[in-house]
Protein backbone atom coordinates (compact mmCIF):
# COMPACT_ATOMS: atom_id res chain seq x y z
CA UNK A 1 0.00 0.00 0.00
CA UNK A 2 2.91 2.37 0.64
CA UNK A 3 3.89 2.38 -3.04
CA UNK A 4 0.46 3.75 -3.85
CA UNK A 5 1.08 6.52 -1.40
CA UNK A 6 4.48 7.38 -2.89
CA UNK A 7 3.03 7.37 -6.39
CA UNK A 8 0.65 10.11 -5.39
CA UNK A 9 3.50 12.12 -3.85
CA UNK A 10 5.44 11.86 -7.00
CA UNK A 11 2.65 12.63 -9.15
CA UNK A 12 -1.08 12.77 -6.68
CA UNK A 13 -14.86 10.82 0.24
CA UNK A 14 -15.83 14.25 0.85
CA UNK A 15 -19.16 15.93 0.16
CA UNK A 16 -17.46 18.26 -2.31
CA UNK A 17 -18.81 18.37 -5.84
CA UNK A 18 -16.76 16.74 -8.59
CA UNK A 19 -15.11 19.22 -10.93
CA UNK A 20 -14.59 19.03 -14.69
CA UNK A 21 -10.90 18.97 -13.88
CA UNK A 22 -8.86 19.16 -10.69
CA UNK A 23 -9.28 22.91 -10.03
CA UNK A 24 -11.61 24.43 -7.45
CA UNK A 25 -12.74 27.94 -6.54
CA UNK A 26 -12.58 28.77 -2.83
CA UNK A 27 -14.39 31.91 -1.74
CA UNK A 28 -15.65 33.89 1.23
CA UNK A 29 -17.91 36.78 0.32
CA UNK A 30 -16.47 38.45 -2.75
CA UNK A 31 -12.92 37.26 -2.13
CA UNK A 32 -11.59 34.12 -3.75
CA UNK A 33 -8.60 32.01 -4.70
CA UNK A 34 -8.16 28.93 -6.87
CA UNK A 35 -6.76 25.55 -5.81
CA UNK A 36 -5.56 22.88 -8.22
CA UNK A 37 -4.57 19.29 -7.53
CA UNK A 38 -1.36 18.21 -9.20
CA UNK A 39 0.53 15.12 -10.28
CA UNK A 40 4.26 15.65 -9.82
CA UNK A 41 5.41 13.54 -12.79
CA UNK A 42 3.55 12.92 -16.06
CA UNK A 43 3.79 10.90 -19.28
CA UNK A 44 4.27 13.14 -22.35
CA UNK A 45 0.84 12.05 -23.63
CA UNK A 46 -0.80 13.96 -20.75
CA UNK A 47 0.15 17.24 -22.44
CA UNK A 48 -1.53 19.57 -23.16
CA UNK A 49 -2.90 19.83 -19.63
CA UNK A 50 -6.64 20.25 -18.99
CA UNK A 51 -7.87 23.70 -20.06
CA UNK A 52 -8.98 24.56 -16.54
CA UNK A 53 -5.39 24.68 -15.33
CA UNK A 54 -4.29 27.08 -18.06
CA UNK A 55 -7.29 29.34 -17.46
CA UNK A 56 -6.71 29.40 -13.70
CA UNK A 57 -3.03 30.18 -14.21
CA UNK A 58 -3.72 33.01 -16.65
CA UNK A 59 -6.21 34.60 -14.25
CA UNK A 60 -3.77 34.49 -11.33
CA UNK A 61 -1.13 36.95 -10.16
CA UNK A 62 0.43 34.67 -7.53
CA UNK A 63 1.40 31.01 -7.80
CA UNK A 64 1.58 29.11 -4.50
CA UNK A 65 3.38 25.74 -4.51
CA UNK A 66 4.15 23.12 -1.87
CA UNK A 67 7.86 23.88 -1.63
CA UNK A 68 10.73 25.79 -3.20
CA UNK A 69 13.06 23.35 -4.96
CA UNK A 70 15.61 26.04 -5.84
CA UNK A 71 18.05 24.98 -3.07
CA UNK A 72 18.33 21.58 -4.78
CA UNK A 73 19.79 23.22 -7.89
CA UNK A 74 23.02 23.94 -6.01
CA UNK A 75 24.98 20.63 -5.95
CA UNK A 76 26.72 21.36 -2.65
CA UNK A 77 23.50 22.49 -0.98
CA UNK A 78 21.60 19.52 -2.38
CA UNK A 79 24.22 17.07 -1.13
CA UNK A 80 24.05 18.59 2.33
CA UNK A 81 20.26 18.49 2.44
CA UNK A 82 20.05 14.93 1.14
CA UNK A 83 22.53 13.64 3.71
CA UNK A 84 19.70 13.18 6.19
CA UNK A 85 18.09 10.66 3.82
CA UNK A 86 21.07 8.34 4.36
CA UNK A 87 22.09 6.25 7.34
CA UNK A 88 25.38 7.16 9.03
CA UNK A 89 28.45 5.05 8.33
CA UNK A 90 28.17 1.65 9.95
CA UNK A 91 24.37 1.48 9.73
CA UNK A 92 22.68 -0.40 6.88
CA UNK A 93 19.08 -0.75 5.81
CA UNK A 94 19.29 -4.53 5.33
CA UNK A 95 20.33 -4.97 8.97
CA UNK A 96 16.89 -3.68 9.95
CA UNK A 97 14.97 -6.09 7.70
CA UNK A 98 13.74 -9.65 8.18
CA UNK A 99 15.10 -12.27 5.77
CA UNK A 100 11.83 -12.41 3.79
CA UNK A 101 11.70 -8.65 3.31
CA UNK A 102 15.38 -8.56 2.38
CA UNK A 103 14.82 -11.22 -0.30
CA UNK A 104 11.83 -9.30 -1.63
CA UNK A 105 14.00 -6.19 -1.87
CA UNK A 106 16.77 -8.08 -3.67
CA UNK A 107 14.35 -9.31 -6.34
CA UNK A 108 13.12 -5.78 -7.06
CA UNK A 109 16.66 -4.42 -7.15
CA UNK A 110 17.71 -7.11 -9.63
CA UNK A 111 14.82 -6.13 -11.89
CA UNK A 112 16.27 -2.63 -12.03
CA UNK A 113 19.87 -3.87 -12.33
CA UNK A 114 20.78 -2.59 -8.91
CA UNK A 115 22.63 -4.30 -6.08
CA UNK A 116 22.09 -4.22 -2.34
CA UNK A 117 25.36 -2.34 -1.60
CA UNK A 118 24.15 0.53 -3.81
CA UNK A 119 21.18 1.25 -1.55
CA UNK A 120 22.39 0.03 1.85
CA UNK A 121 22.66 3.55 3.25
CA UNK A 122 19.23 4.66 2.02
CA UNK A 123 16.63 5.28 4.68
CA UNK A 124 13.27 3.61 3.86
CA UNK A 125 11.57 6.75 2.53
CA UNK A 126 14.49 7.46 0.21
CA UNK A 127 14.56 3.87 -1.05
CA UNK A 128 10.84 3.68 -1.83
CA UNK A 129 10.95 7.05 -3.57
CA UNK A 130 13.80 5.91 -5.82
CA UNK A 131 12.18 2.57 -6.64
CA UNK A 132 8.87 4.26 -7.44
CA UNK A 133 10.63 6.72 -9.75
CA UNK A 134 12.33 3.87 -11.58
CA UNK A 135 9.01 2.07 -12.05
CA UNK A 136 7.32 5.22 -13.35
CA UNK A 137 10.15 6.04 -15.73
CA UNK A 138 9.87 2.56 -17.23
CA UNK A 139 6.24 3.40 -18.02
CA UNK A 140 6.97 6.73 -19.73
CA UNK A 141 6.44 9.05 -16.75
CA UNK A 142 9.25 11.24 -18.03
CA UNK A 143 7.73 14.73 -18.40
CA UNK A 144 7.54 17.49 -15.77
CA UNK A 145 4.49 17.45 -13.55
CA UNK A 146 1.80 20.10 -13.26
CA UNK A 147 3.57 22.14 -10.60
CA UNK A 148 6.91 22.25 -12.43
CA UNK A 149 5.15 23.19 -15.68
CA UNK A 150 3.47 26.20 -14.13
CA UNK A 151 6.49 27.15 -12.06
CA UNK A 152 8.45 27.53 -15.30
CA UNK A 153 5.68 29.64 -16.84
CA UNK A 154 5.37 31.78 -13.71
CA UNK A 155 9.09 32.49 -13.74
CA UNK A 156 8.94 33.43 -17.42
CA UNK A 157 6.00 35.76 -16.77
CA UNK A 158 7.46 37.23 -13.55
CA UNK A 159 4.52 36.14 -11.42
CA UNK A 160 4.88 36.22 -7.65
CA UNK A 161 5.83 32.85 -6.14
CA UNK A 162 4.95 31.65 -2.64
CA UNK A 163 5.48 28.31 -0.89
CA UNK A 164 3.69 26.39 1.86
CA UNK A 165 6.69 24.64 3.42
CA UNK A 166 10.50 24.70 3.11
CA UNK A 167 12.38 21.95 1.31
CA UNK A 168 14.17 21.18 4.59
CA UNK A 169 10.84 20.16 6.11
CA UNK A 170 9.98 17.83 3.23
CA UNK A 171 13.35 16.09 3.36
CA UNK A 172 13.21 15.70 7.14
CA UNK A 173 9.75 14.20 6.80
CA UNK A 174 10.91 11.79 4.09
CA UNK A 175 13.86 10.75 6.24
CA UNK A 176 11.56 9.96 9.18
CA UNK A 177 9.19 7.62 7.32
CA UNK A 178 9.35 4.08 8.66
CA UNK A 179 11.81 5.04 11.39
CA UNK A 180 11.88 2.33 14.05
CA UNK A 181 9.57 0.07 12.01
CA UNK A 182 11.59 -0.33 8.83
CA UNK A 183 10.64 -3.94 8.14
CA UNK A 184 6.89 -3.40 8.36
CA UNK A 185 7.11 -0.18 6.34
CA UNK A 186 9.00 -1.87 3.50
CA UNK A 187 6.82 -4.99 3.55
CA UNK A 188 3.87 -2.87 2.44
CA UNK A 189 5.91 -0.71 0.09
CA UNK A 190 7.70 -3.45 -1.80
CA UNK A 191 4.54 -5.51 -2.21
CA UNK A 192 2.97 -2.74 -4.27
CA UNK A 193 5.94 -1.38 -6.23
CA UNK A 194 5.21 -3.49 -9.30
CA UNK A 195 1.62 -2.18 -9.38
CA UNK A 196 2.70 1.46 -9.37
CA UNK A 197 2.15 2.12 -13.07
CA UNK A 198 -1.33 0.55 -13.16
CA UNK A 199 -2.43 2.51 -10.12
CA UNK A 200 -1.05 5.73 -11.56
CA UNK A 201 -2.96 5.23 -14.81
CA UNK A 202 -6.18 5.14 -12.78
CA UNK A 203 -5.05 8.12 -10.69
CA UNK A 204 -4.37 10.15 -13.83
CA UNK A 205 -7.91 9.55 -15.02
CA UNK A 206 -9.22 10.78 -11.67
CA UNK A 207 -6.94 13.80 -11.84
CA UNK A 208 -8.06 14.89 -15.31
CA UNK A 209 -11.71 14.77 -14.27
CA UNK A 210 -11.30 16.11 -10.74
CA UNK A 211 -12.75 12.91 -9.27
CA UNK A 212 -11.86 13.22 -5.59
CA UNK A 213 -13.94 10.18 -4.65
CA UNK A 214 -11.75 8.04 -6.91
CA UNK A 215 -8.59 9.52 -5.36
CA UNK A 216 -9.99 8.70 -1.93
CA UNK A 217 -10.62 5.10 -2.96
CA UNK A 218 -7.44 4.58 -4.96
CA UNK A 219 -4.91 6.20 -2.69
CA UNK A 220 -5.93 7.56 0.68
CA UNK A 221 -8.07 4.71 1.97
CA UNK A 222 -5.47 1.97 1.27
CA UNK A 223 -2.66 4.01 2.82
CA UNK A 224 -4.71 4.85 5.89
CA UNK A 225 -5.60 1.18 6.33
CA UNK A 226 -2.05 -0.11 5.81
CA UNK A 227 -0.10 2.52 7.77
CA UNK A 228 -2.08 5.14 9.64
CA UNK A 229 1.09 6.72 11.06
CA UNK A 230 2.45 7.52 7.60
CA UNK A 231 -0.99 8.74 6.51
CA UNK A 232 -1.06 11.15 9.45
CA UNK A 233 2.48 12.37 8.76
CA UNK A 234 2.16 12.85 5.04
CA UNK A 235 -1.40 14.05 4.67
CA UNK A 236 -3.30 15.02 7.82
CA UNK A 237 -0.58 16.99 9.62
CA UNK A 238 0.51 18.84 6.49
CA UNK A 239 -3.05 19.65 5.41
CA UNK A 240 -3.72 21.15 8.82
CA UNK A 241 -0.47 23.15 8.71
CA UNK A 242 -1.33 24.53 5.28
CA UNK A 243 -4.84 25.65 6.24
CA UNK A 244 -3.91 28.91 8.04
CA UNK A 245 -1.40 29.75 5.31
CA UNK A 246 -4.08 29.41 2.65
CA UNK A 247 -6.51 31.44 4.73
CA UNK A 248 -3.89 34.19 4.95
CA UNK A 249 -3.98 34.53 1.16
CA UNK A 250 -7.43 36.11 1.36
CA UNK A 251 -8.06 39.81 1.89
CA UNK A 252 -6.04 41.40 -0.92
CA UNK A 253 -6.47 42.40 -4.55
CA UNK A 254 -4.28 39.62 -5.90
CA UNK A 255 -5.62 36.43 -7.44
CA UNK A 256 -3.79 33.37 -6.13
CA UNK A 257 -3.54 29.89 -7.63
CA UNK A 258 -2.51 27.24 -5.10
CA UNK A 259 -1.13 23.98 -6.54
CA UNK A 260 -0.67 20.95 -4.26
CA UNK A 261 -0.60 17.20 -4.79
CA UNK A 262 -4.08 15.89 -5.60
CA UNK A 263 -4.05 13.54 -2.61
CA UNK A 264 -4.06 16.57 -0.30
CA UNK A 265 -7.40 17.75 -1.67
CA UNK A 266 -9.39 14.53 -1.28
CA UNK A 267 -11.13 13.01 1.70
CA UNK A 268 -12.68 14.27 4.92
CA UNK A 269 -9.28 15.45 6.17
CA UNK A 270 -8.25 17.07 2.88
CA UNK A 271 -7.56 20.74 2.33
CA UNK A 272 -10.84 21.44 0.51
CA UNK A 273 -12.92 19.88 3.27
CA UNK A 274 -10.94 21.78 5.93
CA UNK A 275 -11.61 25.05 4.11
CA UNK A 276 -15.28 24.20 3.85
CA UNK A 277 -15.42 23.48 7.58
CA UNK A 278 -13.74 26.85 8.21
CA UNK A 279 -16.60 28.65 6.48
CA UNK A 280 -15.33 28.97 2.92
CA UNK A 281 -17.40 28.07 -0.11
CA UNK A 282 -15.74 25.43 -2.29
CA UNK A 283 -16.99 24.74 -5.80
CA UNK A 284 -15.63 23.41 -9.09
CA UNK A 285 -13.80 26.07 -11.07
CA UNK A 286 -15.56 27.21 -14.22
CA UNK A 287 -13.52 28.81 -17.00
CA UNK A 288 -14.49 32.45 -17.49
CA UNK A 289 -13.26 35.07 -19.88
CA UNK A 290 -11.32 37.97 -18.43
CA UNK A 291 -10.09 38.21 -14.87
CA UNK A 292 -11.75 36.95 -11.70
CA UNK A 293 -9.73 39.16 -9.36
CA UNK A 294 -11.79 40.19 -6.37
CA UNK A 295 -11.29 41.65 -2.92
CA UNK A 296 -12.89 40.98 0.40
Contacts of 246 (CB under 8 A, 6+ apart): 26, 33, 35, 64, 164, 258, 271, 275
- Does position 158 have pLDDT exceeding 50, yes or no? yes
Query: Residue 223: what pLDDT?
Result: 84
Between 129 and 14, where is the model more confident? 129
> 291 pLDDT band (50/70/90 cuts)?
very low
Task: Compute the 3-state secondary structure of the chain and give helix, strand, coil in percent, each to the nearest 5.
Answer: 55, 15, 30
- Note whether residue 35 is domain-resident: yes
Q: What are the tens digits of pLDDT across the range 229-273? A: 889 999 999 999 999 999 999 999 999 999 999 999 999 999 999
| 3-class secondary structure, 110 | helix
Query: Residue 13: what pLDDT?
Result: 35
Q: How far apart are CA 177 and CA 6, in angstroms?
A: 11
- Note whether residue 295 is domain-resident: no
Q: What are the tens digits of pLDDT across the range 80-89? A: 888 999 999 9
Number of domains in the chain: 1
- Note whether residue 296 is domain-resident: no
- Note whether residue 292 is domain-resident: no
- Note whether residue 11 is domain-resident: yes
Specify the DSSP class assigned to residue 178: T
Query: Residue 108: what pLDDT?
Result: 93
Give the strand pairing for 256-261 and 62-65.
parallel
Average pLDDT over residues 55-81: 92
Query: Residue 289: what pLDDT?
Result: 57
- Note whether residue 12 is domain-resident: yes
Range of the domain at 186: 2-284
Query: Residue 1: what pLDDT?
Result: 41
Amino acid sequence: MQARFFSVILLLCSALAQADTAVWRVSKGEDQLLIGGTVHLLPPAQYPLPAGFDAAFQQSDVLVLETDLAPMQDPARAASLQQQLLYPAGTTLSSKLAAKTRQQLLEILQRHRLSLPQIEQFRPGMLVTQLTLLELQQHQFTSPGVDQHYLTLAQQQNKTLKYLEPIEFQLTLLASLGEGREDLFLQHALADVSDTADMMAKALSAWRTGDLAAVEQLVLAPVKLADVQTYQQMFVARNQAWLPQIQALFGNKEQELVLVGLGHLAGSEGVLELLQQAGYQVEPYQIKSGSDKTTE
